[in-house]
Structure 1
């Protein structure tokens, strides 16, 4: 198993409402796949693969960890592993994506982008239509 943790520092979460800002073609593509990459996200992933001297055929593994009590967190790593029973494989913008079947339910329809978020931080952003945010008063 080969994982590169360089992606972990670049992951930031988004909320479901951000998907409303997506163009209709991205929403359609997202509805057909668990995770869809924007051109910016796919380009950044390919840059990281190249600078890490990994083959462009290396998969990006997306996951969700945590629970409803403490919250959920997105995970993103490079991996050569694929379990035909536990994982699902897809492709977006020339990048192979692997998701374990449990995480897939949480990531259904998610669009992953790369850029600057509302807080001015640069990284990968998850626009997940399934995400629920609660305001604490």
Structure 2
């Protein structure tokens, strides 16, 4: 609400109000936001951001960037800075294995993937359909 009052009367404020409605502070990177908005535009919006997945004992198996809880699908937006080191790659693999073993489908997207508007939502749609057939 504060931002709305700060931009009132400025050039581009009307268009900016539309974008503000899509803002979500839970995103941890521009890539996560871009991936989420591709899903929203593609009519497969995630029902959770920063989705915590726990086992029956409450142990945290991992946190997914974008989540669809019903079909148990998680999309990860893998930026080079946060996921580019060997240590990060190994940690991502271990976390992915824990989540897959708990019954989740994990999708991984990069900035390049966001350049094709249809790619991310179509991939998510396919994963949801596959999960619903199980």
Larger radius of gyration: 2
TM-score (norm 2): 0.27
Higher strand share: 1
TM-score (norm 1): 0.26
Higher helix share: 2
Higher relative contact order (CA 8 A, sep 6+): 1
